[in-house]
Structure 1
Amino acid sequence: MLLTKAVKKVHDYGVLVMFSHTIFSLSFALISMLLASNGAPSFYKLFWILIAFMGARTGANAINRAIDAEIDGKNPRTAVRQLPQGLLKKKEVIVFSILCFLVMLVAAAMLNPLCVLLSPIALFLMIIYSYTKRFTWACHLVLGITSAAAPVGAWIAVTGKISWLPLFMGAANTLWVAGFDIIYGSQDYDFDTANGIHSIPQRFGVKNALRISSLFHFMTIIFLIAVGLLSSELGILYFIGLFIISILFLIEHRMVSPDNLNNVKIASYGVNQIISIAFLIFGVIDALI
C-alpha cells in the first residue's frame, strides 16, 4: 500500500514538472558544455552540471505550477493538472521547489565562483516567469531567457567565464522556446482574453502571433549558424543537423493556422522534442569527433 502511494506520488511529481520536456534545454546545455570543454569534460564537471541543470529545471517547473494553480483551475484545458485536482498540495510543491533550488545552489558552489555569483539571477528568472503572464505579453520571451540559462550556465561551469558563443547559443535557445510557446499559447486565446492573461496571441491576435513564432524560429536558425561558424569544434555534421531542424520548423508551422489549432500540442511539443533530439545527436557527435 505504501509502495503504491509512493509510486503514485513520484508519478504525479513527474507529470507536474513535465519531466519529458527536459530535452528542450538539455540538448543546448550538453552541446555548450562539450564546446566549452573542447571535447568531453571531466566526470566531476559533467556530474555537477547535470545536478545543477536538473535541480534548476525541476524546481522552476514545480514553482510555476504552484504559482499558477488558481489560473490553471479556471482554465478547462489545465484544470486536470495535479494541483487543481488536489492530487498534490500547493505547500508541498513549494517545499519541493525550494529543495530543488538548494540542490542547484550546492551544485553551482561545486563548480566555480562565477556560477555561485550568477545563481541568484537564474533563481529570479525561474520565479518571476510565472508572474509575467499577469502583466506582459513578453512572457514567452522571459520563458525563453530562463531556458537559455542552461547553455550559458554550462559554458560558465566549464570555463569560469562568458564569451560570444554561449550568448549566441542562449539567444537561439530563447527564441526557439519562445516560438513554440507562442504556438502552444494560441489555443488559450479566448481564455486569456476573458481573464486578463497576457500573451503574444492575446495581444496581437493568433494570426500575427503565429507569424511572430515563425520569425523567432527563423532567427533561431540564424543564431545556431553563428554558433557553428564561431566554433572550431563544429563542422559539416552540425550544419546537416541544422538543415534537418529547418525542415522540421517548416513542418511545425504548416501544422497550425489561425483557423486550425487542432495540432497545436503536436506542433509545439511533439515536433520540438524531435528537433531537440536531432540537435543533440548531430551537435554531440560533431563536437566529439
Structure 2
Amino acid sequence: MIFTTKDTGPVADAVKRHWVDTRLPPAFRPYARLARWERPIGWWLLLWPCWWSAALAAIAAGNGWPNPWHLVLFFVGAVAMRGAGCTYNDLVDVDIDAKVERTRSRPIPAGQVSKTQAKVFLIAQALLGLLVLLQFNSFSIWLGIVSLVPVAIYPFMKRITNWPQLFLGFAFSWGALMGWSATFGSLGVAPVLLYLGGICWTIGYDTIYAHQDKEDDALVGVKSTARLFGGHTKLALVLLYSAATVLFGLAAVFADAGPAAFFGILAGVVHLGWQILVLDIDDGDQCLKLFRSNGTYGWILFGGFVADALIGWL
C-alpha cells in the first residue's frame, strides 16, 4: 500500500513534543517528518526572501503594504516546496543519511517510508507548489519554473564542492526575485541585489547549521563550508553577513526606500553580530539554536520594509 507506513519515532534533531508527533495520526507522521513540518524554520528561511521582495516592491510601487494575497501564496508555496525539496534531498541522500548520527532516524533510512512512497509524496507536494505558482503572472510562472534548476542540483553539490551552501543560497534566495516579479511582471536592480544578499546570508546561516555534522561529514566524505572554514568560521561569517547587509541596503536604495527600511537593516546587523559573537562551533545544540534564530532576523527586516511602505504611503 502506498500510504502504509510504520512510525518508529521522531527524527533525532526534530522539535520535541511537536504536534506532528503528538496529534497527527500515526500513519501520516512519517510523511510530515519527511516534509520537515516539525521544523518550520526551513520554510521560514525559504519564505523570507519572498516576503522581503514583496515588501520592497510595495515601497517601489508606492503601496502601503505588500499584496496580502501574494503573501499568502508565498507562504503556502514555501511550505509545499520546502517539503518537496526535503523529500527530494532525502531520496538523493539516503545512503549518506544512514551513516550520520543526526540523520539516520529520518523517515527513509529509518524505514518509516519506502522510496516509492516518498516519490509519490514528492509529486503531491510539487503539484501543490505548481498550483500556487499558476496564480501569478506569466513572467513569474516562468521565473518560478527556472528555480527548479538550483533546487535539482543542490543535493549533489556536497559530493563535489566545498561550497554546497552557495548552491543552497541559489535555491533558497530565489524568492527575492519572485516577490518583485509578482508585483511588476519583470525584474530590476533591487530584487537582484536582494537575491545576492540572500545568497550571502544563506551561506552564513547554513555554515552554522553544518557545524553540527562536521565530524560525521568528514568520515563519510561530505563537503561543506563548515569544514572549509573550520576555525576561521567567525571571520567568514563577518564577511558573509557584512556582504549580505550591504547588498540588502543597496536593494533598499534602488527600491527608493526610506529611513524605516534602513533602520530594520541596521537592527538586523545587531542580531547577526550577536550570532557571531556567541557562536561556539563545537557546540551542536547552540549551532542549531543560532541557525533557527535567523527566523527572527527575517522578521526584523520584513518589519522594517513593511513599516517603510506604510510610512511612505501615509
What range is the shorter-chain TM-score in?
0.7 to 0.9
1:113-192 map, 5 Å: 113-192=138-217
Query: In 2, distance between residues paired with 1:30 and 1:205?
Result: 31
The match for 2:10 is none
Query: In structure 1, the residue corresponding to 2:135 is in which secondary structure?
Result: helix
Query: Whose helix proportion is higher, 1 or 2?
Result: 1
The match for 1:243 is 266
User: What amino acid is aligned across from residue 281 of structure 1 in structure 2?
Assistant: G
Greater Cα shift, 7-16 or 214-223:
7-16
Query: In structure 2, the residue corresponding to 1:85 is in which secondary structure?
Result: coil
TM-score by length of 1: 0.87
Query: In structure 2, the residue corresponding to 1:141 is in which secondary structure?
Result: helix
Report how far residue 261 of structure 1 moved: 5.2
Question: Cα distance 1:210–1:42, how it changes in 2: closer, same or farther (>3 A)?
Answer: closer
Query: In 2, distance between residues paired with 1:11 and 1:172?
Result: 31
Question: Cα distance 1:188–1:9, how it changes in 2: closer, same or farther (>3 A)?
Answer: closer
Query: In structure 2, the residue corresponding to 1:84 is in which secondary structure?
Result: coil
Question: Cα distance 1:43–1:287, how it changes in 2: closer, same or farther (>3 A)?
Answer: closer
Please tell me whether residue 213 in structure 1 is matched to residue 234 in structure 2: no
TM-score by length of 2: 0.80
Question: Cα distance 1:263–1:47, how it changes in 2: closer, same or farther (>3 A)?
Answer: closer
User: What amino acid is aligned across from residue 231 of structure 1 in structure 2?
Assistant: A
User: What amino acid is aligned across from residue 84 of structure 1 in structure 2?
Assistant: P
Greater Cα shift, 103-112 or 154-163:
103-112
User: What amino acid is aligned across from residue 173 of structure 1 in structure 2?
Assistant: G
Deviations 1:108-158 (A, max 9, x none): 333222223333321121121111101111210110110111121121122
Alignment root-mean-square deviation, CA: 2.6
The match for 2:290 is 267
User: What amino acid is aligned across from residue 69 of structure 1 in structure 2?
Assistant: V
Question: Cα distance 1:261–1:53, how it changes in 2: closer, same or farther (>3 A)?
Answer: closer
Contact 1:256–1:264, Cα closer than 8 Å, also in 2: yes
The match for 2:14 is none
The match for 1:68 is 93
Contact 2:41–2:295, Cα closer than 8 Å, also in 1: no
Number of corresponding residues: 285
Query: In 1, distance between residues paired with 2:90 and 2:298?
Result: 23
Please tell me whether residue 34 in structure 1 is matched to residue 55 in structure 2: yes
Contact 1:256–1:262, Cα closer than 8 Å, also in 2: no
Contact 2:56–2:305, Cα closer than 8 Å, also in 1: no
Please tell me whether residue 77 in structure 1 is matched to residue 102 in structure 2: yes
Contact 2:249–2:262, Cα closer than 8 Å, also in 1: yes
Query: In structure 1, the residue corresponding to 2:108 is in which secondary structure?
Result: helix
Amino-acid identity (%): 21
The match for 1:254 is 277
Report how far residue 205 of structure 1 moved: 4.5
Contact 2:261–2:305, Cα closer than 8 Å, also in 1: yes
